[in-house]
Amino acid sequence: MHTDLAIMKSDEDMVRLQNEAQRQQFSSSAWIGLYNDLNSWRWSLGNEALGSMTNWHAEEPNNNYGHEECGVVSVGGWWDVSCRLAYPFVCFDDSETGNQRYIYISNSMTWHEAQVYCRQYHTDLASARDTNENLVIEGLISGWTWFGLFRDSWKWVDQTNFSTISWMPGEPDNALGNESCGYLNNSQAFDAPCLDLKPFFCYSAITGKEQIVRLKVQANQDVNDPAVKMTILEQIKQKVKNHGMAENIIVKWRKQPDGIVFHKKKENTTTVGKGEL
């Protein structure tokens, strides 16, 4: 019926949604086009998607507490954890050969700090795309260690990063273990299970379609007078608004090549003008 669930990338978008909520006398919770992309795991090196080879520990990844978007490797499997935690890490250097391409760094850093370090001094964080690469990395470590596994966080349905709206304090928390969709309440975002039933806001993309309407106006005064043209235009705008079409529609006069809007027809007192929607 529309383009998609509502996305809000600016304060103006939020105002439009609030106006619609007020028009509908709506003040409860409603789905918007916000979701947590749990299946976007990939490797930092080459931004390569996670293939069929995985080594997740039992019940992982679980996005515990709603903020686990980076992967650690240890002997026994992989875990998803918060990217803000500090661990040692393994870099990859394609200028080396064999197992020498994998470099263990014992200094603890956040995942993003580790990525910057590896890209500055080597090639990137290490990938474990097959069993052999995973075994090489496991041979260098003794506990939880960053490698190149990460995923996207919350995003809009058009695949752009979540912005503009603030989370309710403490959210997202994935309290029920499957809260991967976002809803809005009092202009703040919350996470909830996607199977919950809620009303929702949609949005429609503006296509920029242009429509020209020719008008015949009978008048005993100069319809090219700016005040008269403004009065007619305001009446047209009101008609558009009365039909629920005012939002995102611009109504204006279309001038002829000579700069005049209306031209008088010779056979009678009717004048003709053009308006552009």
186 Cβ contact list (under 8 Å, min separation 6):
none
Is residue 169 reached through a cis peptide bond, with omega within 30 degrees of 0 on the bond before it? no
What digits encode the pLDDT tens for the residues 144-174?
A: 999 999 999 999 999 999 988 999 999 999 9
| Span 78-94, pLDDT tens digits | 999 999 999 999 999 99
Alpha-carbon span 183 to 36, nearest angstrom = 12
Task: Tabulate helix, strand, coil % of the chain (nearest 5).
Answer: 20, 30, 50
- What is the predicted pLDDT for the residue at 248? 63
- Full-model pTM: 0.72
